[in-house]
């Protein structure tokens, strides 16, 4: 079978793309008011009079009343002239899909043929949910407007209110309304006149306070499930478990196709074909380790991405026997702080927390200027940069390595006061010796840590190195369709395509040179999905999306009218 789209990865980025391909009024294009009005019109489409003028011809759409009463007042539930014009100017991508009319079922049958391959499981977000459960993470770091719903920027907030789960929200304190130093006083006074508060060099509108809450892990999981149900992405067989090992773009005898298609092969030997492929593989890549581990040493240490049970068997045994258990955690980001906290809660006697650089505290893993009121300015500067090298430097500056949230900073300080954790910044391990019999480590550090005892286990929360040139499944693509890379990131087209004539789309961290510093985050998942969806329509055409081919000029004018651009009465001139 030749699929229209094959998505590699069933995580947040993959889900965002799949949902966006099913959404025909995305919030990136339509405002909340336009959404509400459109869906109201659509709901009452068969019970009110809608007149459309096209090339001098007037015809009715789903009219049950007489044509003479085509325009009436709006506040009593009927449609106004404005709504009539709005409905008549809906783009084909909207009006042909959202209705539950007789054409609805035909559209679904003609709609996009989609397949998702995931190396972990045959359901959405399994790896994500498993990692959060393993580390016992109760709260996301992202704010409420970072999510995978393409239809509504405030979708998660609306879902929370609808479900009555406001208790599952944590306010990101100090982000809005934070007290600032005296030298910012003048700036605060000016901002106060405009109902603003100032954080550093960023103004945060008080009216956006509702956005600066983070959801619980359970709330986000349930919200994602609601998104999959709404768009029919929970259909059996949509997701298959399989690790992709090779990807080719060529003509294949097995597919009677006059154009090139993708052949996707999995580790277990399955082969799939698709007209377009989306890579949404998450962090992936090579694990960053302070030093390589031998087979014996692997019994006493692991990367945070490889944790399958916590704590390790030997540490767990010592805790059960009420013996002293010491653990080292190497890192500097939020994951390392979460591991430290979990180790202490599980009963570890003491944790030595080693950071290669300084102890950095931030609400988010990117600077607030990329998320607050002036984020559009930052993005404009990024997108208008002359070279990808400049963009790479902007990404490094905005992310600035690993950081810990103020909430976990407070948690670690409380542990430190009770002498359960010892924090050592600018410290690295210079010498190690592992005893496989005792299952303990002897370590030396720079600078030296006085009275460092034998260590029972080490966790390396040191991140992943993503280099597109090292991914095994893309080796054939590099040979057949080579592209430039900057420090491991591919120089994609603006549509996130491998090349202009190669419909291999990359999203998430691999699309950072086009999406910006937020590419690896939930915001990047949503932005990437939006770009991919627009380009996908050009690659696959209207037929693949379950609609008939339409005159391009008519579609463009309809979209402009619906979005409030141009003159919406221009379409009536020929029929006047």
pLDDT at position 560 = 54
Q: Per-residue confidence at 398, pLDDT binned at 50, 70, 90?
A: confident
**How confident is residue 479, by pLDDT bands cut at 50, 70 and 90?**
very high
Which range among 86-95, 295-304, 480-489 shows the weakest confidence by mean pLDDT? 86-95
Q: Tokens at residue 63, please?
A: 């009219």
Query: 262 or 253: whose pLDDT is higher?
Result: 262
pLDDT at residue 548, rounded to an integer? 55
How many other C-beta atoms are found inside a 10 Å radius of the C-beta of residue 554?
14
pLDDT at position 368: 74
Tell me the sheet residues that pair with 490: 485
Q: Per DSSP, what are the bridge partners of residue 3?
A: 274
* pLDDT, average across residues 299-303: 94
- For the cut 60, the answer to whether the pLDDT of residue 164 exceeds it is yes
Tell me phi and psi for residue 353, to 5 degrees: -100, 110
The residue among 90 and 494 whose pLDDT is bigger is 494
Instruction: Please say if the pLDDT value at position 69 is more than 80.
Output: no
Q: Is the dihedral of CA 563, 565, 569, 572 positive or negative?
A: negative
Residue 102 or 532, more confident: 532
| Percent of the chain at pLDDT exceeding 70 | 72
CA-based nearest residue to 461, from 563, 328, 349 = 328
Q: Please report the sign of the dihedral spanned by the C-alpha atoms of residue 273, residue 464, residue 511, residue 468.
A: negative
Taking alpha carbons only, the member of 328, 346, 530 closest to residue 432 is: 328
What's this model's pTM, rounded to 2 decimal places? 0.77
**pLDDT at position 130 over 60:** yes
Report the CATH number of the 286-365+401-464 domain. Answer: 3.50.50.60
212-245 per-position pLDDT tens digit? 788 999 999 999 999 999 999 999 999 999 999 9
Beta carbons within 8 Å of 379's beta carbon, 6+ residues apart: 370, 516
Asked whether residue 148 carries a pLDDT value surpassing 60, the answer given is yes
Residue 70 · residue 51 · CB < 8 Å: yes
447 burial class (0-12, 13-18, 19+ CB within 10 angstroms)?
A: exposed
Average of per-residue pLDDT across 525-540: 90
More confident residue, 167 or 89: 167
pLDDT band at 171 (very low <50, low <70, confident <90, very high): confident
Extents of the domains making up the chain: 143-219, 286-365+401-464
Please state, rounded to an integer, the average pLDDT across all residues of the chain.
79
pLDDT over 50 at 192, yes or no: no
pLDDT band at 199 (very low <50, low <70, confident <90, very high): very low
């Amino acid at each position: 079978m030749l699929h229209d789209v094959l998505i590699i990865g069933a995580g947040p980025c993959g889900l965002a793309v799949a949902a966006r391909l099913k959404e025909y009024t995305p919030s990136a294009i339509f405002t909340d008011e336009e959404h509400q009005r459109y869906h109201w019109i659509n709901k009452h489409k068969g019970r009110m009079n809608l007149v459309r003028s096209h090339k001098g011809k007037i015809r009715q759409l789903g009219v049950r009343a007489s044509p003479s009463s085509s325009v009436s007042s709006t506040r009593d539930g009927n449609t106004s002239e404005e709504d009539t014009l709005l409905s008549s100017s809906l783009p084909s991508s909207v009006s042909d899909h959202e209705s539950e009319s007789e054409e609805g079922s035909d559209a679904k049958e003609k709609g996009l043929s989609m397949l998702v391959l995931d190396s972990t499981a045959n359901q959405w977000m399994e790896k994500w949910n498993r990692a959060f459960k393993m580390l016992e993470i109760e709260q996301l770091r992202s704010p409420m407007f970072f999510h995978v719903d393409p239809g509504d920027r405030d979708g998660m907030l609306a879902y929370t209110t609808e479900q009555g789960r406001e208790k599952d929200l944590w306010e990101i304190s100090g982000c809005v309304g934070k007290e600032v130093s005296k030298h910012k006083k003048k700036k605060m006074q000016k901002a106060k006149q405009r109902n603003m508060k100032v954080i550093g060099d960023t103004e945060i509108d008080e009216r956006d306070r509702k956005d600066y809450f983070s959801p619980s892990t359970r709330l986000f999981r349930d919200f994602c499930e609601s998104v999959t149900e709404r768009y029919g992405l929970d259909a059996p067989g949509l997701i298959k478990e399989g690790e992709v090992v090779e990807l080719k773009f060529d003509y294949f005898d097995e597919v009677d196709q006059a154009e090139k298609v993708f052949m996707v092969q999995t580790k277990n030997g399955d082969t799939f074909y698709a007209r377009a492929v989306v890579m949404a593989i998450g962090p992936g890549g090579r694990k960053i380790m302070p030093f390589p581990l031998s087979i014996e040493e692997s019994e006493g240490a692991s990367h945070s991405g490889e944790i399958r049970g916590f704590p390790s068997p030997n540490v767990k045994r010592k805790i059960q026997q009420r013996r002293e258990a010491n653990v080292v955690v190497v890192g500097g980001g939020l994951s390392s702080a979460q591991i430290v906290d979990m180790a202490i809660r599980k009963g570890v006697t003491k944790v030595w927390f080693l950071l290669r650089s300084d102890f950095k505290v931030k609400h988010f893993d990117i600077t607030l200027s990329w998320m607050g009121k002036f984020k559009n300015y930052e993005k404009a500067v990024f997108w208008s940069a002359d070279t990808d090298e400049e963009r790479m430097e902007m990404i490094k500056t905005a992310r600035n390595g690993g950081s810990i949230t103020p909430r976990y900073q407070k948690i670690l300080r409380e542990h430190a006061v009770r002498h359960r954790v010892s924090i050592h910044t600018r410290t690295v391990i210079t010498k190690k010796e592992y005893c496989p019999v005792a299952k303990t480590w002897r370590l030396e550090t720079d600078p030296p840590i006085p009275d460092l005892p034998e260590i029972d286990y080490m966790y390396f929360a040191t991140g992943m190195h993503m280099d597109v040139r090292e991914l095994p499944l893309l080796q054939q693509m590099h040979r057949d369709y080579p592209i430039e890379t900057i420090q491991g990131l591919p120089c994609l087209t603006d549509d996130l395509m491998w090349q202009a004539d190669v419909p291999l789309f990359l999203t998430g961290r691999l699309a950072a040179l086009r999406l910006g510093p937020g590419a690896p985050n939930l915001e990047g998942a949503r932005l990437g999905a939006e770009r991919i969806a627009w380009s996908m329509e050009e690659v696959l055409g209207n037929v693949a999306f379950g609609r008939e081919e339409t005159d391009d000029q008519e579609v463009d004018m309809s979209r402009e009218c619906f979005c409030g651009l141009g003159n919406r009465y221009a379409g009536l001139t020929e029929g006047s």
